[in-house]
Amino acid sequence: MLKVTVTNLRKNFFNYLDKVSNGEIIYIYRHKKNVAKLLPPNIKDWRDQMKNKVEILVEPDELIAPIEDIWQEYV
């Protein structure tokens, strides 16, 4: 992960593009504020790499229904 100003990026644009193509992530700052991020094209979303998928095993109404005996204490 690199942090670079817009001015520095503009002066060395092709050098930074080479770094991004080699897998580096570059954060671009302007007036000390993060304004952009350069990512290599081969970075995938971590959600796509998950092996375990969430699966709801009960009906939605049962999932949000209150437990009667516990619920009575709070009414």
Domain ranges of the chain: 2-74
**Whole-structure pTM value:** 0.56
Q: Please say if the pLDDT value at position 19 is more than 70.
A: yes
| Confidence (pLDDT) at 33 | 96
Spatial distance between the Cα atoms of 58 and 41, rounded to a whole number of angstroms: 39
Confidence of residue 68 (pLDDT cuts 50, 70, 90): low
Spatial distance between the Cα atoms of 41 and 59, rounded to a whole number of angstroms: 40
The CATH class given to the 2-74 domain equals alpha beta
The letter for the amino acid at 60 is: P
Confidence of residue 42 (pLDDT cuts 50, 70, 90): confident
| Confidence (pLDDT) at 59 | 84
| Confidence (pLDDT) at 30 | 96
